[in-house]
Amino acid sequence: MNEERYTRLKKIIKIYLPEDVSVDDISAQSHFINELNINSANLVDIVLDVEDTFGIMLENDDMDQMQTVHDALLIIDKKLTDK
């Protein structure tokens, strides 16, 4: 796992966490909705933030597959490699 990308991703996720979940609760295996209790409507915002932060563009399929922090990192790695 690329630590730098993981840190940047955590920084993106932070603002979407509900009050009772802290940034320290995030792990690579965390499920955005089920474990981090992020409002499902905000997943589209996380995708936009990821695109802006990493200079990539995600397809609909990528978004469907992005269930956990780990999923997101894999997609980011792949997009950056393909770039």
Closer residue to another protein in complex, CB, 16/32: 16
Residue 24 tokens, joined: 């320290």
Cβ-based neighbours of 73, under 8 Å, separated by 6 or more: 1, 2, 5, 6, 9, 28
Least distance between another protein and beta carbon 45 (Å): 5
Least distance between another protein and beta carbon 21 (Å): 12
Binding residues for another protein (CB under 8 A): 15-16, 41-42, 44-45, 48
* Helix, strand and coil in the chain, % to nearest 5: 60, 0, 35
Least distance between another protein and beta carbon 44 (Å): 5
Closer residue to another protein in complex, CB, 4/41: 41
Please tell me the distance from the alpha carbon of residue 2 to that of residue 38, in angstroms, as a whole number: 23
Closer residue to another protein in complex, CB, 4/61: 61
